[in-house]
Amino acid sequence: MSNSYDVVIVGGGPGGYAAALYGAAAGLDVALVEKQKLGGTCLHVGCIPAKELLETASVYRTVAHADQFGIMSESPTVDMGAAQARKQKIVDQLHKGVGKLLEGRKVTVLEGWGSLGPDRAVSVSGGESGDVTLTANHVILATGSVPRTLPGFEVDGERVLTSDELLSITDLPERAAIIGGGAIGLEFASMLADLGTEVTVLEALPRILLGADDDVVKMLTRAFKKRKIEIRTGVVVNGCRDNGDGVELAVEGADPLGVDAVVVCVGRRPFTDGLGLDAAGVIVDDGGYVAVDEFCETTAAGVYAVGDVVNTPQLAHVAFAEAIMVVKHLLGESPSPMDYANVPWAIYCHPEVAFVGHTEASAKEAGFEVVASMHRFIGNGRAMIVGDTDGLVKVIADRCDDGTAGRILGVHMVGPWVTEQLGQGYLAVNWEATVSEVAEFIQPHPTMSELFGETVLSLTGRALH
């Protein structure tokens, strides 16, 4: 095994393995160092297992209401052991696939802890690959993140959990408190509620789901309320205690809240522990993130950082895109910098949420004269057919001097399958398309995506429905 490479990558999650695969496809000699399993948080304790369990919840919800379609069956029951086995089978298959892809591209994979030294040297230790020092023309840091915790909430994996522990539960709690009303917290609240848990969401901020348009948040809140999910905003929690029968949360200004389990979903912190950044001259900002420029290059020449370890949206698809940009940059191909204001967001609760670009409020704050249109799924034929009509599509556009709608600034959706429908909106926003251009696109019928086309068409002043 050579100890010298074109690129050495520390971390085998989405950012790391994407950089390895893309770099190898460009002809670079690449080594990847991973201390645990290839695939990182996303594959093992994040995106993939969470969405698999949300799909389990969706199947349960569908079967429970099958009589509406004329399908008569006994009341369904949940076997979390079987659900976890299916989840693990999918994770294992994808994990094996990542390994095969890296092997096929002739990426050298080393198991162990990677730490950075001067002059782009990477020391590997504590794993099956043994102790070795690698040198590289370029180093990419992609060590990811771990769940943040709160004072007064000691994680024990049974009564007090983070996302890591919740994704492996085999016994559902009767009552659960979710601390955090962001994407992760809302997905878990939705999943648990569908499977029969009484759920309360506690959010310290005045509203849930920052980044989504106000109309989307209102619709989602109403939909959660119909499913008996309680959402409390502007709430401060001051720890919890085990009272023998469960967990009692101290809620500032309110009676204690008794539940069987608490799930702490207050975000994730960058994982830079033991990475040796100081010795390499890599600066970390006040939030613990690796400081980078517009091309994700750190303060140490030739050393880059991507994914959750930098202060950009903590999304696997953002890590993929950063990895591609970095490889292009180190090859001298002059890529475009990332536009973080216009990345796509997808939240897989029920109903789903997806958005890109400005909200109506943020567009006004940015100085745009705004025109917006909104249509609801309740009148969409496909939504009625599948029996899922809660939701809406909202398109925000710049108002031209003549009063007509011009460039599309933002697309915000809540409703059935919207995570699969955002593609049109993402392209429209990022290609700076105008309402009149997009309104000419033909939407297949009957589809959910017709609602996006109808919403854009109405901004021309001539709607069909």
Q: Which residues are catalytic?
A: 445
Distance CA 143, CA 315 (A): 14
Q: Identify which of 448, 447, 394 has the alpha carbon closest to the alpha carbon of residue 425.
A: 394
> Does residue 383 contact residue 377 with C-beta atoms inside 8 Å?
yes
Q: List all residues 6 or more positions away from 189 whose beta carbon is below 8 Å from its beta carbon.
A: 178, 199, 201, 224, 229, 349
Residues whose CB is less than 8 angstroms from the CB of residue 124 and which lie 6 or more positions away in sequence, other chains included: 33, 110, 112, 113, 114, 130, 131, 132, 133, 134
What distance in Å separates the CA atoms of residue 394 and residue 403, rounded to the nearest whole number? 19
CA dist list (Å): 421 to 206, 215, 254, 332, 344: 29, 18, 41, 35, 11
Measure the CA–CA gap between 165 and 151, rounded to whole angstroms.
18
Q: With contact defined as beta carbons under 8 Å apart, do 354 and 417 qualify?
A: no
Lay out the sheet containing 175-179: strands in order across: 160-161, 261-264, 175-179, 198-203, 230-233
Tokens standing for residue 301: 């020449």
Q: Rounded CA gap, 38 and 42, in Å?
A: 10
Report whether 14 contacts 101 (CB < 8 A): no
Nearest to 272 by CA among 7, 10, 53, 1: 10
User: 290: which DSSP letter?
Assistant: B
- Cα Rg for the chain, rounded, in angstroms? 24
What secondary structure does DSSP assign to 241-259, as a single string? EE-SSSEEEEETTS--EEE
Q: Which residue has the tokens 């969405």?
A: 51
Closest alpha carbon to 344 in 161, 211, 169, 152: 211
Read off the DSSP letter of residue 333.
-
